[in-house]
Amino acid sequence: MHNELILAGFGGQGVLLIGKLLAYAGMKAGLEVTWMPAYGPEMRGGTCNCTVVLSDRQVGSPVTNRPHGAIVLNLQSIDKFEPLVRPGGILVVNTSLINRPAVRTDLIVVPVAANQIALEAGSAKAANMVALGAFLGASGVVSPDLVRDVLAETFAGRQKIVQLNQVCLSKGFEIGQAYAPAMAGR
């Protein structure tokens, strides 16, 4: 098991956070993990991304230009990262902010209206959780229960936030699961 994932969006959409949650959950699952933020010039213009590697062996490079999957929350991010994902990989697309379909036909594309779903659940700020949930549902890299635990630890004492995020994670997860069978044998 070795997964290199890119999570990308606007600054403020919480892509670094869902990357950390994923890495933390991976760690709890006993995997080797790295989380690496892009801190270079690509940060200019308000976009933001990080790379998470989850593996059952020591992680080599913490950066990748051939990820096994990507979560893209805005248009710039799908433009930039869709071409890089390995064939057969998962691409979670936030259709709330991305007004074009994915071009690649060799990917498992998971469209999810993350902002709308999060808004309905209480706040559009939790759109990142919907997207992460969708990715977990489709990929099964780590159990959503672990991410729920990590959420509770990260936002200890802020019950409302924990609840909202857990709800959004679950909603995304359900959507993602519909794409999971296609992953069989990976």
Partner 1 sequence: MAKKLMKGCEAIGEAAIQCGCRLFFGYPITPQNEIPEYMSARMPQVGGVFVQAESEVAASNMLYGAAGAGRRCFTSSSSPGISLMQEGISYLAGAELPVVIVNIMRAGPGLGGILPSQSDYLQATKGGGHGDYRVLVLAPSTVQEAADLTMEAFDLADKYRNPVMILGDGLIGQMMEPVEFKRRIEPEDLPEKPWATTGAVGRGPNIVNSLYLRAEDLEQHNLALGAKYRAMEAEVRHETYRTDDDPDVLIVAYGTVARIARTSIDNLREKGLKVGLFRPVTLFPYPAAALAAAAARAKHVLVAELSMGQMVEDVRAVVAGRVPVDFFGRCGGMVMTAEELAEQAEKLLAVPA
- Residue 157 engages partner 1 in binding (rule: CB under 8 A): no
Q: Figure out which of the listed residues 1, 65, 100, 158 binds partner 1, where binding follows CB under 8 A.
A: 65
- Residue 1 engages partner 1 in binding (rule: CB under 8 A): no
**Shortest spacing between CB 101 and partner 1, in angstroms:** 29
- Residue 29 engages partner 1 in binding (rule: CB under 8 A): no
Full 3-state SS string of the chain: CEEEEEEEEECCCCHHHHHHHHHHHHHHCCCEEEEEECCCHHHCCCEEEEEEEEECCCCCCCCCCCCCEEEECCHHHHHHHHHHCCCCCEEEEECCCCCCCCCCCCCEEEEECHHHHHHHHCCHHHHHHHHHHHHHHHHCCCCHHHHHHHHHHHCCCCHHHHHHHHHHHHHHHHHHHCCHHHHCCC
- Residue 39 engages partner 1 in binding (rule: CB under 8 A): yes
Per CB under 8 A, the segment of 5-13, 16-24, 76-84, 119-127 that binds partner 1 is 16-24
User: Which residues fall within 8 angstroms of residue 31, CB to CB, at 6 or more apart?
Assistant: 1, 54, 55, 56, 142
- Residue 173 engages partner 1 in binding (rule: CB under 8 A): no
- Residue 59 engages partner 1 in binding (rule: CB under 8 A): yes
User: Which residues fall within 8 angstroms of residue 185, CB to CB, at 6 or more apart?
Assistant: none
CB closer to partner 1, 58 vs 105: 58
Q: Figure out which of the listed residues 17, 27, 29, 124 binds partner 1, where binding follows CB under 8 A.
A: 27
Q: Enumerate residues 94-133 that contact partner 1 by CB under 8 A.
A: none
CB closer to partner 1, 64 vs 177: 64
Q: Figure out which of the listed residues 15, 23, 91, 109 binds partner 1, where binding follows CB under 8 A.
A: 23
- Residue 24 engages partner 1 in binding (rule: CB under 8 A): yes
Interface positions with partner 1 (CB under 8 A): 20, 23-24, 27, 33-37, 39-41, 57-66
